[in-house]
Amino acid sequence: MALHPNFLNWFNELMQSKDPEKAWHYFDFDFSAFTEEEKLDTEMALFRENWHELHDNLAQGFQTGKNPKVAAFLFESVMNGKIPEFDYKPVSRKCIWALADIGTEEAKSYLEKIAQSNDEIIAGFAKKRLDNWAREAGRKGKPETNATQKMT
């Protein structure tokens, strides 16, 4: 399914205007008619931008969604250091938690790479998630995947 023209028009206007107040209205949209991939594409596009303050909310959505398709994106976002945030890196922390909650081997390998980073803050976040990997097994993966695994 293609994105609804009304949303596309609004989203294109937002990206051109770079209006941080207007960006908050992103969360007012009903995405029920969108595919998960369409919604993720718009969220990743917004996350790459630095003119708004939605990063924390978007990172929370990536963590809640646990979609393996965002693992490489999250890794690159954390490692490139372009996430607009405070010195203690709360958005990067949410991205790292999202990788842990995605729970795939690919996501784990990204955490292992982040744990080797020269940035002690993000490396520490990744090491903590790796140390707790087995203990947090129940929260890993998409909810419908966990339900299916428990039934077999």
Mean pLDDT of 85-112: 96
Domain residue ranges of the chain, discontinuous segments joined by +: 33-151
**pTM for the full predicted model:** 0.88
Q: Would you give the distance in Å from CA 127 to the centre of its chain?
A: 19
DSSP 9-26: HHHHHHHHHT-HHHHGGG
Q: What is the pLDDT of residues 29-88, one digit of tens each?
A: 999 889 999 999 999 999 999 999 999 999 999 999 999 999 999 999 999 989 988 889
Mean of all residue pLDDT scores within the chain: 91
Token readout for 37 is 């991939």
| Closest CA relative to residue 138, chosen from 127, 149, 128, 124 | 149
Other beta carbons within 10 Å of 48: 14
Instruction: Assess whether pLDDT exceeds 80 at residue 150.
Output: no
CA distance 66 to 145: 10
**What is the structure's pLDDT at 146?**
43
**What is the structure's pLDDT at 143?**
62
CA torsion 15-21-23-28 (nearest 10°) is -140
**What is the structure's pLDDT at 92?**
97
**What is the structure's pLDDT at 142?**
74
**What is the structure's pLDDT at 2?**
62
SS3 32: coil
